A = this chain, B = another copy of it.
Amino acid sequence: MGIAERKESDKEVMRKKILDSAMRLFLSEGYNKVSIRKIADAIEYSPATVYLYFKDKTAIFNALQKVAFDKFYNTLAGCLKIKDVKKRLDEIGELYMKFAMENPEYYDLMFIMSAPIDREKATCFMDDRAFNLLSGTIEEVFKKKGIKNIDVEATAFLLWGFSHGLASLIIRKRLALIPDEHLKGLFQKISKMLDKKFFQ
């Protein structure tokens, strides 16, 4: 059955080709400017061919989202090289905002964009991996510091909620009137506040 296998791998190659083009277009021009025709042009096939490999445009969207989540988790996982759990937690915050600011299109794709989402798949919930990394680290910090009366899940949601709130407001340009400098200072000030109140 060598032919069937080769065909299967050909299909994979083609799918990857489509996704690569889609992601390139997506990152350079934004989601709403990615059309099936442009993707087809880029890979030098007809628009209809794309539909032989993906059910519709949202199937492509979902595949791209998976790519973004992988990149996102790999970035956050960079914190694991830091052994001090408190410093590791700080690093997660840093890496989270850095990722959002440097990869706004990826961030948009994962957490903001309103293209139809697979409610079946767990990926809509931040990506369990990343959330577990956060709450796991918080738990360790609490353990190390002997903090007992604070709910870990609630704290994780507070930190994530705030970070996402700020990141999404910035990405969607709702804080465009506030100078970058001021915003950065604000974020650091709030981080210190939270640190003082919750982790000491």
Contact = CB atoms under 8 A, between A and B. Distances in A.
Q: Is the interface of A mostly helix, strand, loop or mixed?
A: helix
B112 A190 contact: no
A4 interface: no
B190 A154 contact: yes
A113 B174 contact: no
Contacts of A173: 114, 117, 119, 124
A143 interface: no
Contacts of A157: 166, 186, 190
A2 interface: no
Interface residues of A, number: 41
A177 interface: yes
Nearest to A171: B114
Residue of A157, A162, A165, A175 contacting most chain B CB atoms (<10 Å): A165
A14 interface: no
Interface stretch (A43-51, A87-95, A191-199): A191-199
B112 A177 contact: no
A168 B186 CA distance: 21
A163 interface: yes
B176 A124 contact: yes
A172 B125 contact: no
Contacts of A70: none
B163 A114 contact: no
A158 interface: yes
Nearest to A128: B177
8 contacts: A111-B169, A111-B172, A119-B177, A125-B176, A157-B166, A161-B161, A161-B166, A165-B168
